[in-house]
Amino acid sequence: MKLLLTSGGITNASIRDALVHLLGKPIADASALCIPTAEYGHPMCTPASAWRFVAGQSAAPMCDLAWKSLGLLELTALPSIGQERWAPWVRAADVLLVDGGDATYLCHWMRQSGLVDILPSLRETVWVGVSAGSMVMTPRIGEDFVSWKASAAGDKTLGLVDFSIFPHLGHEFMPENTMAYAQEWAKGIGGPAYAIDDQTAIKVVGGVAEVVSEGRWKFFAP
């Protein structure tokens, strides 16, 4: 699987170019599934914000990129219908668009649904995450980012990449997300980490990470 881990979606030309490169085709020729599940685990998210993501009306440009086709994949529904029904939908998609919210809640439902089990077989599929949709791929997110207190795993997530992500660096509506705060967060992570703003993404292919940015970011060595 190829990853494009963003803080705020496809927010500039550089990130869009990275997406097209990963797809290997124009966006207009690619089929997408959007996954809003993480929204339901975060207290600041609502049914309205989940709808805005799916409808392409959120602040994170994702579903509004004029895809060839766009479908909805709700992970909480998958265990009740069986993998033989939903797995072909996932395998047929060129890209999975994964919204933000709570990364530990998303991680839980990726495991419960069985989606995580088929990810290794999706070699050409592109995973595009926004915020928690990106953080879920990391080993840990830090306790400060855990809103879903039912998480038995604490702040641990999937660990499909070897670095952690501090999103929304310097965001105007998140004044606490300063570089100084990110540095303190990184000290507690205990591994490599990136702080990225909404104009930055991390592209991962074959385990190799590359920062794509028209904004501000910082790498924290362990």
CATH of residue 197's domain is 3.40.50.880
The DSSP code for 195 is: E
Residue 20 φ/ψ, nearest 5 degrees:
-60, -40
Question: What is the number of residues in the chain?
Answer: 222
Measured CA to CA in angstroms, residue 31 lies from 26, 72, 204 at distances of 10, 11, 20
pLDDT of residue 102: 96
Whole-number percent of the chain with pLDDT over 90: 89
Could you read off the pLDDT of 120-147 as tens digits, one per residue? 999 999 999 999 999 999 999 999 899 8
Domain count, the chain: 1
Could you read off the pLDDT of 147-159 as tens digits, one per residue? 887 877 799 999 9
Choose the weakest-confidence range: 12-21, 69-78, 146-155, 194-203.
146-155
The DSSP code for 26 is: -
Instruction: Give residue 198's identity as a one-letter amino acid code.
Output: D
Q: Is 13 exposed, middle or buried (0-12, 13-18, 19+ CB in 10 A)?
A: exposed
User: How high is the mean pLDDT of the chain?
Assistant: 95
For the record, the structure tokens of 192 come out as 């490599």
For the record, the structure tokens of 22 come out as 């990963």
* Cα torsion angle, 157, 94, 71, 211, sign: positive
Is a pLDDT exceeding 80 seen at residue 27?
yes
Q: Is 26 exposed, middle or buried (0-12, 13-18, 19+ CB in 10 A)?
A: exposed
Is a pLDDT exceeding 90 seen at residue 116?
yes
Query: What is the CB-side half-sphere exposure of residue 202 using CA atoms within 13 A?
Result: 29
d(CA 52, CA 47): 9
Beta bridge partner(s), residue 2: 126
pLDDT of residue 130: 97
* Cα torsion angle, 62, 185, 101, 74, sign: positive
Choose the weakest-confidence range: 1-10, 74-83, 91-100, 150-159.
150-159
Quick check: 164 and 135 in contact, CB under 8 A?
Answer: yes
Could you read off the pLDDT of 154-190 as tens digits, one per residue? 999 999 999 999 999 988 887 888 999 999 999 999 8
d(CA 127, CA 136): 11
> Where in the sequence is the domain holding 134, given as residue range(s)?
2-220
Is a pLDDT exceeding 90 seen at residue 60?
no
Residue 123 φ/ψ, nearest 5 degrees:
-65, -35
pLDDT of residue 48: 95
